Amino acid sequence: MANLTANRNLPERLGNRFGYPVAAGARIFRGALMALTAAGLVVRPGDAGAAVVVGLSPTEADNRDGADGAIVLEPKHGTFPMTVPGAVHTNIGDPVYCTDDNTLTLTASTNLKVGKLAGIEAGQTFVEV
């Protein structure tokens, strides 16, 4: 890549908020983990074609009667209290995976990565998504 030879203006996107189109037939509940297919459509983790977790749904999106992209969701990112069975303090910093839109595990296997175990406080596990 060559050095710039003049000033340029680049569009700026603040934060990590991106809108993703919801797949036809999908229903995503508020607070549920959201996944994308290879085509970039929102589905629930565990659904056929789910390829990567992108965050938590900020609202319910019912696209069961709509076409692909009839609804767009901007997933939330951050650290949230979520149940991770078997997690102990020595797991802090370890990757966390999911088997569906609500079930977390420390086991990779064929599960999708959600984020990492951020901490444990008063018996509650916190996951950075």
83 and 58 within one domain: no
Identity of the amino acid at 120: I
* Cα-to-chain-centroid distance, residue 119: 19
CB 47 within 8 A of CB 99: no
Query: Does residue 104 carry a pLDDT above 80?
Result: yes
The confidence score (pLDDT) of residue 9 equals 87
Kindly indicate the confidence band of residue 109, based on its pLDDT and cuts at 50, 70 and 90.
confident
- Of residues 123 and 1, more confidently modeled: 123
Structure tokens at 67: 């076409």
pTM of the predicted protein model: 0.86
Supply φ then ψ for residue 22, to 5 degrees: -85, 135
Per-residue pLDDT reduced to its tens digit, 12-49:
766 677 899 999 999 999 999 999 999 999 999 999 99
What is the total count of domains within the chain? 2
Q: Name the burial class of residue 68, with classes exposed (0-12), middle (13-18) and buried (19+) by CB atoms within 10 angstroms of its CB.
A: middle
> What is the CB neighbour count within 10 angstroms for residue 120?
15
- Look at 10 and 129; give whichever has higher pLDDT: 129
In a domain, residue 53? The reply is yes
Residue 30 structural domain: 20-73
Q: Does a structural domain hold residue 13?
A: no
User: Quick one: pLDDT at residue 10?
Assistant: 84
Whether residues 84 and 63 fall in one domain: no
Which residues, in sequence order, are CB contacts of 36 under 8 Å at separation 6+? Answer: 20, 42, 43, 50, 51, 52, 54
Q: How far is CA 75 from CA 15, 39, 52, 121, in A?
A: 12, 17, 13, 25
State the DSSP code for 76: B
